[in-house]
Amino acid sequence: MRSLIKRHPYERAARKTLKRAPRDPAPSKWRYRWQRWMLTRGVRTTLRIGTPLLLVGIIAGVWTSKPENRALVTGKIAEVQEAFQNRPEFTLTSLDVIGADEQTVADVQTMLPIEFPVSSFDLDLEEMRATVEDLYAVKHASVRVGDGGVLEVDIVPRVPVAVWRENETLRLIDEDKVVSGIIETRAARRDLPLIAGKGAYAHLEEALALFRTANPIKEDVRALVRMGERRWDVVLEGNIRLMLPEENPVAALDRMIVINDTKDMLSRDIAAVDMRNPMRPVLRMSSDAANALRRASGRGDIN
């Protein structure tokens, strides 16, 4: 039996609202995780920067997949590179060799046949440096681009300390026993001591020590000759020989110079001074002096 009480419309709407379950305003678990992930700084940076870059990369990849497009890019790059390298500030117009004598300068110019003007980008400076250091007379070298379009080759030359006679060839050698050049005649380097004989090159340090010791008579010294690969002979003007011992030759030469200062031994008509026994030096007279002595004693000349 229907109720005879008439209900108000608002009351009916309120009853329906009470029958529905209340809605939870919080997001779902997966939606919450999605929101937290989107709030991460790395994700936002990736979406803001990485996505446009990815799109640009895809477009560029599709465009460069065509051979004609790749050829166009390559040609443009080569054109820009050539224009940059040929700018006046990178153009070299001359070669300047510093720290070398005329002969070494000519040798460097011969070994570096560069056609000027040339771009500095077209030159391998390290290879050029190695080429210059292959010269006998060059100890160290540096190659650089200087001001005003000048290619500068700075050279540290080898300083010869002696002339080494090997057979008929006169070689200049430095303190490192490196050959720094060849001369035609002895007169070309009279300022340097001369060494000769088999094994002379290997005993350069000892030879230089003997030359220093012989400084008081250096005007008379012609050469040091290695005898039998064991010892030295000091050859003086007039072909006088100072025969030094195998052991301690410097001390023996120094003693001989002291004797010469007191006895004026080298001014006499002698052929050799035998110092192989330092405690008993022996003088050998020249043939003329020996014949004169024999004539004076009535024994006749030596044949």
Taking only the tens of pLDDT, the chain with its 303 residues reads: 455 555 555 556 555 555 555 666 666 788 888 888 878 888 888 888 888 888 888 988 888 888 888 888 888 888 777 777 777 778 888 999 999 888 889 999 999 888 888 888 888 999 999 999 999 889 999 999 888 889 999 999 999 999 999 988 999 999 889 988 889 999 999 999 999 999 999 999 999 999 999 999 999 999 999 998 899 999 999 889 999 999 999 999 999 898 888 888 887 778 888 988 877 888 887 666 555 555 555 555 555
DSSP code of residue 198: T
Task: Answer for the pair 192, 222: CB distance below 8 angstroms, yes or no.
Answer: no
Return the axis-axis angle of helices 102-111 and 125-133, rounded to nearest 10°. Answer: 130
Using DSSP's 3-state secondary structure scheme, residue 158 falls into coil
Whether residue 143 contacts residue 87, with contact meaning beta carbons closer than 8 Å, is answered with no
> For domain 88-157, which CATH number applies: 3.40.50.720, 3.40.50.150, 3.10.290.10, 3.10.20.310?
3.10.20.310
| pLDDT for residue 46 | 83
Task: Give the pLDDT of residue 289.
Answer: 54
Angle at 128 between CA 126 and CA 132, to 5 degrees: 120
Q: Both tokens of residue 152?
A: 């500068």
- Give the model's pLDDT for residue 1: 43
The CATH number that domain 160-297 falls under is: 3.40.50.11690
- Output DSSP code: residue 24: P
Domain ranges of the chain: 88-157, 160-297
Q: Which of 155, 156, 188, 195 is nearest to 173 (CA)?
A: 195
- Please give the torsion angle defined by the CA atoms of residues 100, 101, 104 and 108, in that order, rounded to the nearest 10 degrees: 50
Using the CB atoms, write b or e for 92-101: b if 16+ within 10 Å: beebebeebe
Closest by CA position to 289, among listed 302, 275, 274: 302
The pTM of this model reads 0.63
Tokens of 279: 């405690």
